Amino acid sequence: MLKIENVSAGYGDLKVLYNVSLTVNDGEVVSLVGSNGAGKTTLLRILSGFVPITTGKIEYNGKDLCSIKTFNKINQGISHIPQGRGIFGTLTIYENLLTGTFSKKYRHLFNKNLDSSYKMFPKLYERRNQLAGSLSGGEQQMLAIARALMINPSLLMLDEPSLGLAPIIVKDMFNIIETVAKTGVSILLVEQNLKQALSIADRGYVLETGNIVMEGNAKELLADKNIKEAYLGI
């Protein structure tokens, strides 16, 4: 579905990514892990069209993704949940979910997917008229996921979904991501919590200072001695 080949990028004179290659197949969960500042968020921003590449190419379902305007990425079935969740705090839960189908292509899905969202997240239904900014961090992340799913995406990109959440809520959040994956949505998960991210993934990539240093089966990566020493302190 997604094929990234030898992509380099940055911000002005600051180079962030160096010849990064990565793939996501249909129905697959791929985790991109690494420490803070490794370039993980930059890669997702490239895929959404907020950061241009300097070299390389990106294909999505056989199309040149870089040639598609940012506002049209959603019409390709791509949902991006940014770091910090990106919800509208002054709107209600219901209004936030309504924005999930702002594109004409997806407006017919609103009522059906609203019901699906409320079934997946009963708390959102209970508080549907509550301002999103008054929700807890975990509830806001639920809302961000629910809104992203309003278009029945083919590819869901999540940037640090566990950021700022209590450990018990983090466990719930990854269970939710696993549930979403079982519906057939392809997921590209960017995360510092390496153990949790790889435990729910099919494959993983380790990014260090803008370079992919390891890749492979997620369970094998999680068992790798070097990764345990570098990221888990084992």
Judged by DSSP in three states, 135 sits in coil
| Mean pLDDT for all residues in the chain | 94
pLDDT in tens, 8-29: 999 999 999 999 999 999 999 9
Break the chain into its structural domains and give their ranges: 1-77+154-161+185-234
Distance CA(220)–CA(135), nearest Å, equals 37
* Rounded percentage of the chain residues whose pLDDT exceeds 70: 99
- Closest by CA position to 163, among listed 142, 143, 188, 192: 192
Q: What is the pLDDT of residues 63-100, one digit of tens each?
A: 999 999 998 999 999 999 999 889 999 999 999 999 99
Q: What is the pLDDT of residue 111?
A: 95
* 33: phi then psi, degrees, rounded to nearest 5: -120, 165
Beta carbons of 173 and 138 less than 8 angstroms apart: yes
Other residues' Cβ atoms within 10 Å of the Cβ of residue 35: 14
**Helix ranges, 121-160 (H):** 122-126, 137-148
Q: Answer yes or no: is pLDDT of 234 > 80.
A: no
pLDDT band at 36 (very low <50, low <70, confident <90, very high): confident
Percent of the chain with pLDDT over 90: 87
Largest Cα separation within the chain, whole Å, is 50
Nearest residue to 135 via CA among 94, 179, 82? 94
Residue type, 24: V
Q: Are 87 and 132 in contact (CB under 8 A)?
A: yes
pLDDT at residue number 192: 86
CA torsion sign, 161 to 162 to 165 to 168? positive
Per-residue pLDDT reduced to its tens digit, 167-203: 888 999 999 999 999 999 999 999 988 999 999 999 9
CATH class of the domain defined by 1-77+154-161+185-234: alpha beta
What does the pLDDT average to over 23-36? 95
Taking the whole predicted model, whether its pTM rises above 0.75 is answered as yes
pLDDT, one tens digit per residue, over 48-58 is 999 999 999 99
Q: Indicate the Cα dihedral angle 51, 55, 60, 61, nearest 10°.
A: 160
pLDDT at 231: 78
At residue 233, the pLDDT reads 65
* Amino acid 183: pLDDT: 92
